[in-house]
Amino acid sequence: MSDPNVGAGPVTTDQEGTLLPDQEAATLTPAGDTASTISASSASATFDTTAGIQAVQWAENVTITLGEDTFRYQSNGLPNHDLPEKFLIPKNPANQPFSNKTLDDFNVVTTTEYLQESPIDVTLTLHPTYAETVTQTSLGTIGYILSGARLFNDYENMERSVVALDDNITFTFDETGHDHASFVDECNGHPLADGSNYHYHGVPKCITAEIDVAGEHSHMLGVLRDGFPVYGPQGEDGVPMTNADLDACSGHFGATPEFPEGIYHYHLTEDEAPYSVDCYKGVVDASTGDTGGPAGGPGQGGRPPQIDLAAAAEKLGVTEDALRAALGDPQQGPPDFAAAAQALGVSEETLLDALGILAGAPPANGQPPVGQP
CA distances from 64 to 12, 199, 266 (A): 5, 19, 21
Q: Which residues, including other chains, have CB under 8 Å from residue 104's CB and lie 6 or more apart?
A: none
Residue 338: band (very low, low, confident or very high) from pLDDT cuts 50, 70, 90: confident
**Helix count (H) and strand count (E) of the chain?**
7, 18
Nearest residue to 114 via CA among 177, 187, 197: 197
Nearest residue to 87 via CA among 188, 197, 185: 185
Dihedral Cα 191, 313, 93, 303, nearest 10 deg: 70
The arithmetic mean of pLDDT across residues 292-317, rounded, is: 53
The arithmetic mean of pLDDT across residues 294-320, rounded, is: 58
Give pLDDT, residue 333.
56
pLDDT tens for 163-179 read 999 999 999 998 887 89
CA distances from 44 to 128, 132, 273 (A): 10, 6, 28
Nearest residue to 113 via CA among 149, 93, 83, 91: 83
The arithmetic mean of pLDDT across residues 179-207, rounded, is: 96
Residue 15: band (very low, low, confident or very high) from pLDDT cuts 50, 70, 90: very low
Cβ atoms 200, 168 nearer than 8 A? no
pLDDT beyond 90 at 98: yes
Give pLDDT, residue 30.
36
The arithmetic mean of pLDDT across residues 260-289, rounded, is: 91
Dihedral Cα 295, 116, 70, 18, nearest 10 deg: -130
Cβ atoms 293, 338 nearer than 8 A? yes
Give pLDDT, residue 66.
97
**How many Å separate Cα 244 from the centre of its chain?**
23
Cis peptide leading into 298, omega within 30 of 0? no
The arithmetic mean of pLDDT across residues 266-284, rounded, is: 96
The arithmetic mean of pLDDT across residues 354-372, rounded, is: 50
pLDDT tens for 196-229 read 999 999 999 999 999 999 999 999 999 999 999 9
Which amino acid does the sequence have at 162? V
pLDDT beyond 90 at 150: yes
pLDDT beyond 80 at 135: yes
DSSP class per residue in 296-312: TSTTT---PPP--HHHH
pLDDT tens for 40-76 read 445 568 999 999 999 999 999 999 999 999 999 999 9
Q: Tell me the longest C-alpha to C-alpha distance in the chain.
A: 63
How many other C-beta atoms lie within 10 A of the C-beta of residue 149? 32
pLDDT tens for 113-133 read 999 999 999 999 999 999 888
The arithmetic mean of pLDDT across residues 315-340, rounded, is: 77
Residue 291: band (very low, low, confident or very high) from pLDDT cuts 50, 70, 90: very low
Give pLDDT, residue 287.
66
Q: What is the mean pLDDT of the chain?
A: 81
